[in-house]
């Protein structure tokens, strides 16, 4: 098993999780408009889930002998509620694709525990895609 390769992939996921945690939490208190109260609550809940993902990834990276990154990916800062949700949907779709790749990598490397963890995170990300798609409908 190539722990470095897996840690690098998990750190890429962690950078993404750190970014969307900040992005969604910011959006939760910036949201304005008729539907903003409902959307703000959804954004806050998703931000908390993403923060837990970042924590799980950090713990797994450390267990595998790596160093968990503290640097987030770039954070999008739209001020229009609809654009925020479009940005969020894009981020979640990117996460789904990335997590599927990481699951394959973990399977190829024989890391069952990381694969299972990523499958659980993928399930959450697919649910977030669904939530953002419904908000845009």
Helix (H) or strand (E) holding 92: helix 81-109
For residue 12, the model assigns a pLDDT of: 98
CA triple 105-99-46, angle to 5 deg:
155
110, burial (CB in 10 Å: exposed 0-12, middle 13-18, buried 19+): exposed
Residue 34's pLDDT band, with cuts at 50, 70 and 90, is: low
Q: Does pLDDT of 107 surpass 90? A: yes
Position 103 scores a pLDDT of 98
pLDDT tens-digit map of 67-88: 999 999 999 999 888 999 999 9
Burial class (CB in 10 A: 0-12, 13-18, 19+), 81: buried
Burial per residue of 35-69, b for 16 or more beta-carbon CB atoms within 10 angstroms, e otherwise: eeeebbebbeebbebbbebbebbbebbeebebebb
For the chain, list the domains and their CATH numbers. Answer: 3-136 (1.20.1260.10)
What pLDDT does residue 46 have? 97
Separation in Å, CA 13 to CA 40, 72, 95, 119:
24, 10, 8, 13
pLDDT band at 37 (very low <50, low <70, confident <90, very high): confident
Task: Tell me the whole-structure pTM to 2 decimals.
Answer: 0.94
Structure confidence at residue 38 (pLDDT): 83
């Amino acid at each position: 098993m190539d722990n470095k390769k897996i840690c690098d992939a998990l750190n890429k996921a962690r950078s993404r999780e750190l970014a969307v945690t900040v992005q969604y939490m910011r959006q939760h208190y910036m949201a304005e408009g008729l539907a903003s109260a409902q959307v703000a609550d959804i954004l806050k809940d998703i931000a908390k889930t993403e923060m837990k993902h970042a924590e799980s990834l950090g713990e797994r990276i450390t267990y595998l002998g790596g160093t968990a990154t503290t640097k987030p990916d770039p954070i999008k800062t739209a001020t229009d509620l609809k654009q925020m949700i479009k940005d969020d949907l894009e981020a979640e779709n990117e996460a789904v694709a990335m997590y599927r790749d990481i699951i394959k990598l973990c399977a190829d490397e024989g890391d069952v525990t990381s694969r299972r963890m990523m499958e659980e995170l993928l399930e959450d990300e697919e649910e977030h895609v669904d939530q953002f798609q419904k908000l845009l409908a």
